[in-house]
Amino acid sequence: EAGVTQFPSHSVIEKGQTVTLRCDPISGHDNLYWYRRVMGKEIKFLLHFVKESKQDESGMPNNRFLAERTGGTYSTLKVQPAELEDSGVYFCASSQGGRGGNTEAFFGQGTRLTVV
Amino acid sequence: QKEVEQDPGPLSVPEGAIVSLNCTYSNSAFQYFMWYRQYSRKGPELLMYTYSSGNKEDGRFTAQVDKSSKYISLFIRDSQPSDSATYLCAMSRTGRRALTFGSGTRLQVQP
């Protein structure tokens, strides 16, 4: 079974440009999450989709970040315009649906974003 | 103050040693506790998942949760050089699936 897949693995863009990151979750996983790790900091939650709906977007830093999950399958995270402080590693994770409690989240390999 | 505190290390041990990794947390609402292993340039890999307090064992790995002390541990028995990685604790509360991570402890197992 394929794991969580992220594209691209690495992106270098100039300040002010737009970048779109893609995540393909594990097949059948209703829950999809975005996290990021900026230099020297811990991994931080950005947002959570249940199927195509945003369940929790409390971690999104500002309105330059836009996440979508078309048809409840893959997801994209767009940064527009990118700023220097957006550099870091962006992780996507997915988990099965679960009533009440939590379920294990499985992570992709991450997209390393460098804004210059 | 961070919600989850984790010693960044590095922690260096000889092959075969027992390793103890720990996290403390401040939010008593956390109910789900996880340990992830992350190799360089890779994504976090789920190692152990525990709900509420107690112990859980899987092969050479044992996870412990002490909610009264807000303290969780991961023990690795008979450590191997292939265990060299960064170990991340993560936790979440009921009704909210967002994970709160520790900063990670870098472990080096010397052959």
Higher local confidence (pLDDT), A104 or B43: B43
**Phi and psi angles of residue A57, each rounded to the nearest 5 degrees, phi first:** -120, 30
Q: Does B104 touch chain A (CB under 8 A)?
A: yes
pLDDT value of position A1: 64
Band (A82; pLDDT cuts 50, 70, 90):
very high
Query: What is d(CA B13, CA A5) in angstroms, rounded to the nearest whole number?
Result: 33
Q: Is the pLDDT of residue A2 over 90?
A: no
Query: What is d(CA A60, CA A8) in angstroms, rounded to the nearest whole number?
Result: 20
What tens digit of pLDDT does each residue of B28-55 get? 999 999 999 999 989 999 999 888 888 9
Q: Does B14 touch chain A (CB under 8 A)?
A: no
For A39, other C-beta atoms within 10 Å of its C-beta total 8
Interface residue ranges in chain A relative to chain B, Cβ cutoff 8 Å: 4, 6, 31, 33, 35, 41-45, 48, 55-56, 58-59, 91, 95, 100-102, 104-110
pLDDT value of position A36: 97
What tens digit of pLDDT does each residue of B96-111 get? 889 999 999 999 999 9
pLDDT value of position A15: 97
Searching chain A, which residue's CA lies closest to the CA of residue B30?
A102
State whether A35 and B99 contact (CB < 8 Å).
Answer: yes
The residues near A112 (Cβ < 8 Å, ≥ 6 apart) are A9, A10, A11, A88, A89
Identify the residue among A24, A38, A102 best suited for mutation to test binding to B, counting B beta carbons within 10 A and taking the highest.
Answer: A102
- Give the pairing of strands B54-58 and A111-115: unpaired
Contact B30, B24 (CB under 8 A): no
Q: Is the pLDDT of residue A78 over 60?
A: yes
